[in-house]
């Protein structure tokens, strides 16, 4: 069913390992003006199949305009450069060109954690916060976004720091929690070790924790022992969609 599009809204899409979610976002307030529409990530999640899923989401909203897309990899000028939790065929794909070509809409792509961080700084828990802000999004992987006095250092990929012989996200992501059936307390202690490691290396002023687990913050916050303040993402797991839309607005 066609949805009414206001001139104040932009379509944001968040591509994840299991789902691809989109919604129209009021870019003045950062509020979703439609329900989220979620489609399963195609299997295999090769570039053309994912491109068609993105097109279906755009069609669902009967949307005509710029589209912002958060993607779970390092993205440099629209080009995908890594593929940890996604199909390896993405490496060196010009995702911006591919999505724009398949959908016929101008698409703007950035790393998913960078998108979530942008949303939190503009509309959420990082609004008017100065200093060194670390956004950490936790899901299948761990994504990070660093802001210094509001300026993003893109594609930081600190979920790939080494911990106990593997990458940190293998130890402390939400996927690790479910894979080995950890309680929130057990997982919270692991996540605390990860945050302490980040703190040792970078001394941020504040950590903002995003992704699906942000809704469960009260279940593990007692395990977190950093000097820096730790807060959940105000936009919870909508931050990726909202930030992607804000990015598209900036790129127009």
DSSP code at position 151: E
Q: Peptide bond before 44: cis, by omega within 30 degrees of 0? A: yes
Cβ at position 112, least distance to ligand BGC in Å: 5
| Phi then psi dihedrals of residue 235, to 5 deg | -85, 5
Looking at beta carbons only, is 156 or 192 nearer to ligand BGC? 156
Rounded CA separation 79/89 (Å): 12
| Phi then psi dihedrals of residue 180, to 5 deg | -110, 15
Can residue 79 be called a binding residue for ligand BGC (CB under 6 A)?
Answer: no
Helices (H), 61-150: 95-103, 112-123
Contact by Cβ (8 Å): 144, 134:
yes
The stretch among 21-29, 44-52, 92-100, 106-114 that binds ligand BGC (CB under 6 A) is 106-114
Q: Which of 9, 53, 85, 237 contacts ligand BGC by CB under 6 A?
A: 85
Rounded CA separation 46/143 (Å): 21
β-sheet bridge partners, residue 109: 69
**What kind and span of H or E run contains 177?**
helix 174-179
Task: Name the nearest CA neighbour of 227 among 204, 193, 194, 210.
Answer: 204
Q: Total residues contacting ligand BGC (rule CB under 6 A)? A: 16
Can residue 157 be called a binding residue for ligand BGC (CB under 6 A)?
Answer: yes
Greatest CA separation found in the chain? 51
Can residue 234 be called a binding residue for ligand BGC (CB under 6 A)?
Answer: no
Cβ at position 5, least distance to ligand BGC in Å: 28
Q: Which of 159, 188, 204, 243 contacts ligand BGC by CB under 6 A?
A: 159
Cβ at position 108, least distance to ligand BGC in Å: 16
Contacts of 151 (CB under 8 A, 6+ apart): none
Task: Name the nearest CA neighbour of 144 among 182, 87, 195, 190.
Answer: 195
Cβ at position 147, least distance to ligand BGC in Å: 15
Can residue 139 be called a binding residue for ligand BGC (CB under 6 A)?
Answer: yes
Q: Which of 100, 111, 125, 192 contacts ligand BGC by CB under 6 A?
A: 111
The stretch among 53-61, 96-104, 136-144, 242-250 that binds ligand BGC (CB under 6 A) is 136-144
Cβ at position 36, least distance to ligand BGC in Å: 17
Can residue 143 be called a binding residue for ligand BGC (CB under 6 A)?
Answer: yes
Can residue 72 be called a binding residue for ligand BGC (CB under 6 A)?
Answer: yes
Residues in touch with ligand BGC (CB under 6 A): 72-74, 82, 84-85, 111-113, 137, 139, 141, 143, 157, 159, 169
């Amino acid at each position: 069913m066609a949805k009414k599009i206001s001139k104040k809204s932009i379509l944001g899409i968040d591509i994840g390992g299991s789902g691809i979610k989109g919604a129209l976002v009021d870019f003045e307030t950062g509020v979703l003006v439609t329900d989220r529409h979620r489609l399963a990530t195609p299997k295999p999640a090769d570039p053309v199949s994912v491109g068609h899923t993105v097109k279906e989401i755009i069609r669902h909203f009967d949307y005509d305009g710029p589209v912002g897309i958060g993607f779970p990899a390092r993205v440099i000028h629209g080009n995908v450069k890594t593929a940890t939790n996604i199909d390896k065929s993405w490496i060196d794909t010009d995702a911006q060109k591919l999505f724009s070509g398949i959908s016929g809409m101008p698409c703007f792509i950035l790393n998913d954690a960078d998108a979530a961080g942008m949303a939190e700084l503009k509309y959420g828990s990082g609004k008017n916060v100065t200093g060194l802000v670390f956004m950490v999004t936790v899901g299948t992987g761990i994504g990070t976004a660093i802001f210094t006095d509001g300026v993003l250092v893109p594609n930081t990929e600190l979920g790939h720091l080494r911990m106990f012989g593997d990458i940190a996200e293998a130890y402390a992501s939400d996927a690790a929690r479910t894979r080995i059936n950890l309680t929130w307390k057990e997982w919270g202690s692991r996540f605390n070790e990860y945050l302490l490691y980040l703190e040792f290396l970078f001394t941020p002023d504040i950590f903002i924790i995003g992704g699906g687990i942000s809704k469960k913050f009260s279940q593990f916050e007692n395990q977190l022992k950093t000097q820096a303040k730790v807060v959940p993402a105000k936009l919870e797991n909508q931050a990726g969609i909202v930030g992607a839309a804000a990015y598209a607005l900036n790129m127009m």
